[in-house]
Structure 1
């Protein structure tokens, strides 16, 4: 394994960790370049999790994370660790210590976080596969902003050993690619054996369209119109109470925050080496530590309602059409504090229901900004969802050609 200092684009590759490491010359992903978010263990290496204080205290890993091992066994070439927002607790894609990765497909704009480096590496053709994590949207948001295919798998279908946690009840191992075909091939390596069903029903929840920027509502509806003919059946998502949408973001914020506090409380409160964070992330950790058991109980009630709704509306042959992000990528340095909760309102649906969600970058906006939409399936239908995404992307391409 080669370990060397890497002086690559700001905000993309870390200076530490292996470079151009390949453990297998053969496999279904042979020679595919792999960029790995700096929260995955590699034997003998340390991780920063986006924070110098964490890196300083970290010890070399005893074992490589099984998700990384599986990709290496399939023939991948490990290009390097990639930068992340601090402890992956942000959707912005800007690290106060290591910089912000500029969006390769939209200059002057962010990649989104927290898997920013992995997204930038793939979008900038520095890697073929970007391995990352998705807790509250950290694969899906960069996929939307950078024009990539990305998946947040069902919760706990992929082992999370060797992974620095953020909020274990929501943490997932996800990945980004430039094509739906490669996204599916990676799934064949990382996902367990699952039945692959033909997805023939598109489920539509109209109120979700009102959660995106007014300028994007018409393009999104056009994408839906173009998607519909691919599916044999269409049905409306039965939302008994519109207020359930307004409770999504806060419920997720509370449940994620409580989980973060349980995992990181001791480290956050070390008197001898207090970690230094960007102001917004420091405020988030402070909020998490102040949350109460009563708030958690109320949020769990909302989660239960959403799990019931998803079970009622989705099955092994149906998927939900939904916006991935309410806007395209913000400009570098823009104030995104208000945008965060708008994003979480959309991304929390999969998180709270433990569902699988794929972003498809199939929009063709007049201003050239990357954008698209998501398909979501209920828990443990990941391979069906990936197969559907591959076929739908091919359908879009054919429709464009004709």
Structure 2
């Protein structure tokens, strides 16, 4: 009996199991868990919702990203559960349940790529393929103690992917090691120059966005990280209100993109009744947003894009917290936490930048935690090389 059948809170009941098309390649025999929003020829997706699955048609072709991983030798072990239509950061599905965090009993995995994260954290898979629109790779990576990448926007083809908000959707992945994270990038990412990243950029205001108990550990991680960069640059935001505007700006722009993509389907009679109340409310909010709200939000997005372009280049990366807290307990009310998370995750989203979470914190309570490094659009492979180098040195410096 496969791992898939033993872990119904992580893996879907539909889709292929132990499927392999090529036994050689860069990723030969690595077990691949795939978020249930990627097409596989002849199969249907649920996108986290039974009604969607019931009305879905079988895919005519396999998603290009899945095809590339299979050609590289991966062993597809199953589709994994996701929050409904990937429109949540919780990692909790009213229809299929919540996968418990394998690294922290009784706590959430985070979402929406919850099943892919849980499968890797539980050592049931080596690579968890998922998506990241508002943080759906980065948050589970932080909560589950994994490496996770949100690539630059649109550098990986989204053919065969069920969209949420195309102007922010990215295809990302989770692994237990920086080496494997980079190897997957060699398969999925396009040809890019790999530049030496010698400058660490620090914005102290970002540290104030995390729980007070985590500010000191983050400070220690920063001090441990600094020696691996030749230069350190501090920058201040031109106006403090920019941080408080981040989450709402992203909420509006993401919501407008969702409405433009799914309006006809969402406005069908009784359609929203098939979703959890919190997800349905989010869709209603998205459908009610106006063009004027979008235009105002676009102005703030352009400000952030200018800030990122001014302070980062192909040789520098930003040190930033990934999440404001460690993994919350299963069933906890995370409605307020959602906007706090988005304040941090929107920086990469609004600028189209590449961001990697590194699970390198050593907290006294054994809660997984770490930090992120972010680089400007198109520097994904430089970022992965930097993360691989940094992780190797952290490992050497850690006492046995």
Asked if Structure 1 and Structure 2 have the same fold, meaning a TM-score greater than 0.5 normalized by the shorter chain, the answer is yes
Conservation of the 8 A alpha-carbon contact between 1:238 and 1:313: no
The DSSP-based 3-state class of the residue aligned with 2:19 is coil
The DSSP-based 3-state class of the residue aligned with 1:7 is helix
Query: 2:284 maps to what in 1?
Result: 286
Conservation of the 8 A alpha-carbon contact between 1:53 and 1:275: no
The DSSP-based 3-state class of the residue aligned with 1:21 is coil
Distance 1:47 1:316, change over 3 A: same
- 1:3-402 equivalent positions in 2, closer than 5 A: 7-271=5-269, 275-401=273-399
Conservation of the 8 A alpha-carbon contact between 2:138 and 2:322: yes
Task: Name structure 2 gaps, 5 residues minimum.
Answer: none
Distance 1:274 1:300, change over 3 A: closer
Q: Deviation at 1:271?
A: 1.6
Q: Deviation at 1:6?
A: 5.0
Q: Deviation at 1:274?
A: 5.0
Conservation of the 8 A alpha-carbon contact between 1:26 and 1:74: yes
Distance 1:6 1:356 in 2: 31
Query: C-alpha offsets along residues 159-185 of structure 1, whole Å, 9 cap, x if unaligned?
Result: 000000000000000000000000000
Q: Deviation at 1:270?
A: 1.4
The DSSP-based 3-state class of the residue aligned with 1:130 is strand
Count of paired positions: 399
Distance 1:199 1:133 in 2: 26
Task: Name structure 1 gaps, 5 residues minimum.
Answer: none
Distance 1:122 1:55 in 2: 25
The DSSP-based 3-state class of the residue aligned with 2:112 is coil
Q: Deviation at 1:10?
A: 3.7
Query: Which structure 1 residue ranges, 4+ long, deviate > 3 Å from structure 2?
Result: 272-275
Distance 1:79 1:141 in 2: 23
Distance 1:399 1:372 in 2: 16
TM-score by length of 2: 0.98
